Every structure is written in structure tokens, then in C-alpha cells.
């Protein structure tokens, strides 16, 4: 399991959307957006709110990849790891409590705890050309607003 530095944990907990890729029974990829990805100690966690395919896939193959990207800065992280589905116990209760305290109202069937095997930073190639974070943010704000 890899240690996750505090700045990466802070980034994860500030973002509202990430994507979880799992492997289906027919060995094809399954990509699912998740709005509950958080850091939990040196693991990641996300809630099973409406994730039947993700849960089914993790039951037969725990390997996954998670990408969390700041949509304006076009920077983020890619995490590879193994997901463990938990449905009860003290860790489940603590994470569920965290979600409730942070406004998650949807029913949560289970929680996936992810042992991170490796992670890396992801950045837009525009940074290689010298674009600054402020320029990137302005560019994507305009795109989002249709300007």
C-alpha cells in the first residue's frame, strides 16, 4: 500500500467528481462517475449509491483505477489499487458518518475502501507549452460558460 501525501489527500477531499474504472466479467472496461471519492487515512473510499456494475465487477476482480481531475485546472491524480467492499463494522460506520456530516443524503448500500498500490499526477499537455494555472482556469471557465 502506498502512502498518500497530505496535499494529495486535501485535493481529493476538495473535488466533487472522480471516475472509477473496473473490469467487467467479459474483460471489458467499466467506467463509472463517483461523487463520493475521499481519502481515508492512506486509503481511498467511495460509496455505493447507484453502482451495481461497479460492485459486481469488484466482487469478481478487485483491481481498479480511479481518476480525480480538477475540471478547471486540468490537473489531478490517477490511483491504481484494489477495492474492498465493506457493509458494516467500525470503519464502515465512521465513513458513513463522514458522508452524512458532509451532506450525502442518498442511501448507501456499501462502501469501497481502496488500497492504493500506486498513484501519479495527471496534467494537461498545455502545461508543457507554458500555460499557467490561471490561464488554464480562465480558458475552461469560458468553455463551461459558453463564452
Q: What is the mean pLDDT of residues 106-117?
A: 96
pTM of the model: 0.91
Predicted pLDDT of residue 145: 77
Q: Is 125 among the domain residues?
A: yes
pLDDT at 118 over 80: yes
Give CA–CA dist 113/70, Å, rounded.
22
pLDDT at 34 over 70: yes
Q: Is 128 among the domain residues?
A: yes
Q: 10 Å Cβ neighbour count for 79? A: 26
Per residue in 50-83, pLDDT tens? 999 999 999 999 999 999 999 999 999 999 999 9
Q: What is the mean pLDDT of residues 93-114?
A: 96
Output phi, psi for 20, to 5 deg: -115, 125
pLDDT at 136 over 80: yes
Q: Is 96 among the domain residues?
A: yes
Q: How distant, in Å, are the alpha carbons of 16, 47, 70, 73 from that of 124?
A: 19, 28, 11, 8
Predicted pLDDT of residue 147: 62
Q: Is 1 among the domain residues?
A: no
Phi-psi map region of 102: left, alpha, beta (phi>0 left; psi -120 to 50 alpha): alpha
pLDDT at 143 over 90: no
Number of domains in the chain: 1
- Is the Cβ–Cβ distance between 53 and 34 less than 8 Å? no
Give CA–CA dist 5/22, Å, rounded.
25
Q: 10 Å Cβ neighbour count for 48? A: 20
CATH number at residue 89: 2.30.110.10
Name the pLDDT band for 19 (thresholds 50, 70, 90): very high
Cell triple for 91? 470503519
Amino acid at each position: 500500500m502506498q502512502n498518500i501525501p497530505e496535499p494529495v489527500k486535501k485535493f481529493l477531499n476538495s473535488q466533487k467528481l472522480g471516475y472509477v474504472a473496473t473490469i467487467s466479467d467479459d474483460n471489458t472496461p467499466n467506467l463509472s462517475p463517483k461523487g463520493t471519492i475521499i481519502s481515508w487515512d492512506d486509503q481511498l473510499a467511495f460509496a455505493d449509491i447507484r453502482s451495481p456494475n461497479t460492485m459486481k465487477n469488484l466482487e469478481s476482480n478487485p483491481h481498479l483505477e480511479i481518476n480525480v481531475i480538477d475540471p478547471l485546472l486540468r490537473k489531478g491524480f490517477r490511483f491504481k489499487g484494489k477495492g474492498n467492499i465493506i457493509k458494516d463494522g467500525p470503519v464502515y460506520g465512521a465513513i458513513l458518518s463522514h458522508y452524512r456530516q458532509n451532506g450525502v443524503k442518498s442511501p448507501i448500500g456499501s462502501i469501497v475502501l481502496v488500497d492504493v498500490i500506486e498513484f501519479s499526477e495527471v496534467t494537461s499537455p498545455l502545461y508543457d507549452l507554458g500555460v499557467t494555472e490561471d490561464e488554464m482556469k480562465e480558458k475552461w471557465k469560458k468553455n463551461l460558460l459558453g463564452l
